[in-house]
Structure 1
């Protein structure tokens, strides 16, 4: 896989470390990944799109995504219950963030701050009960916010 790596449904239980470091798109959906680690994608610093939909991920730690180039991040259809405040800090190029169909109950202040180019934020089909003031601050270019079925 020169720039786009399609690792869909390959039975991975963790992020593979043996892929070319210059990849720009990584598709890891339909695997068995349960944990994302801090700096878990740091070796793939050119990533523009990451898809980890349909795994068993339960938590998204700070600094899980290191690429400053990340534009699309797909985390839907997992078991995410919690996202640390500051997880998406310095993702200034991120345009599309999909977190629908998880088990997220709340967002703390600062969870989505510092995402000036974010256009789409999908949070539907979670268990949202509380979005603290400031959790969605500074989303100046947000065009679509999906909160249905919460």
Structure 2
């Protein structure tokens, strides 16, 4: 069901009749008699802005009605004051150029479970108020330059697709972008050239992809913000370059859970002076370069190292001394329990012979 939620400015009379503007060029038809539900309620805006954004349920008023859209979404008639558009469970394999255009008060676009495989450059154009775009649960494979560039979107959700390639310039020139979610895709390589002139990203989530390494200068295009979060959990990361995070002195949280990390270069985290959360659970880490951790200057910190099956008890002891000396919180229940078990185990015959 495709839903368009409307909000009218208070200065407009409820009896005002919008005049259809000139015909807009839509290119190829994206929508073919697509049912669109329309409401005059704008309550959903506050719900969308709330975090965390997981399951959005936007309720229509009893006064809502349905119309069919063919071609593209343009400011004609009742669509002209649209604040939000929701399209769910329709068949939209391709969003052509001009699919959504010239809606000057549109704040949110949600197109999910529609089988979208391709988005052409210019599919979203002249949307000066756009804030949130949700294109989750589709079949996107390739993100092209010209789809999102120069949009004023602040939150972009592309999770639960099949994205394996993103062009170098695909996320350039997006000065308002604060949140990008690429979870549950098929990315194998991180591109350090992404985010040119897109410095304000504060939440970057790339959980559950197929990344194998984090290159040098991976996030150098991002501004050094307090409360920046980077999530790289549930990948295949086995290598972190010593200069991957070198400009993020104010990084707040770094999540690297459930990867294939075996050892970490002593310089990898030394730049993260204000780090509050460093999560390394579920890797294969034998020991951490704990000497470099003394460079951290954060007054509070949480370090998670549990479920690292190869971590030695002597290493864990060093980590405990470091955490205690700085009054940091160390969550190492699994590792500590394993060390306790080892102490209690009886010596084997081979050990006695030695």
Same-fold call, TM > 0.5?
Answer: yes
1:101-112 alignment to 2 at 5 Å? 101-112=258-269
Deviation at 1:99, TM superposition (A): 0.2
Does residue 1:82 correspond to 2:234, yes or no?
no
Query: Between Structure 1 and Structure 2, how many residues are aligned?
Result: 150
Q: Which one of the candidate residues 155, 163, 174 is aligned to 1:12?
A: 163
1:31-110 alignment to 2 at 5 Å? 31-66=185-220, 67-69=222-224, 71-110=228-267
Deviation at 1:43, TM superposition (A): 4.5
2:341 maps to which residue? none
Alignment CA distance shift 1:77-1:5 (3 Å): same
Q: Which moved more, 1:29-38 or 1:63-72?
A: 63-72
Query: Residues 24-53 of structure 1, C-alpha deviation per residue, up to 9 Å, x if partnerless?
Result: 110000011000022333343211110000
The CA RMSD over aligned residues, in Å, is 1.8
> TM-score, normalising length from structure 1?
0.90
Structure possessing the higher relative contact order (Cα contacts under 8 Å, 6 or more residues apart)? 1
Deviation at 1:92, TM superposition (A): 1.8
2:307 maps to which residue? 149
Deviation at 1:134, TM superposition (A): 4.0
Structure with the largest fraction of helix: 2
CA distance in 1, matches of 2:166, 2:206: 10
Q: Which consecutive segments of 4 or more residues in structure 1 shift more than 6 A?
A: none
CA distance in 2, matches of 1:117, 1:25: 21
Deviation at 1:127, TM superposition (A): 0.4
CA distance in 2, matches of 1:56, 1:135: 29
Q: Which runs of 5+ in 1 are unaligned?
A: none
1:130 aligns to what SS in structure 2?
coil
Q: Which runs of 5+ in 2 are unaligned?
A: 1-132, 134-152, 309-354
Q: Which has the larger radius of gyration?
A: 2
2:208 aligns to what SS in structure 1?
coil
2:174 maps to which residue? 21
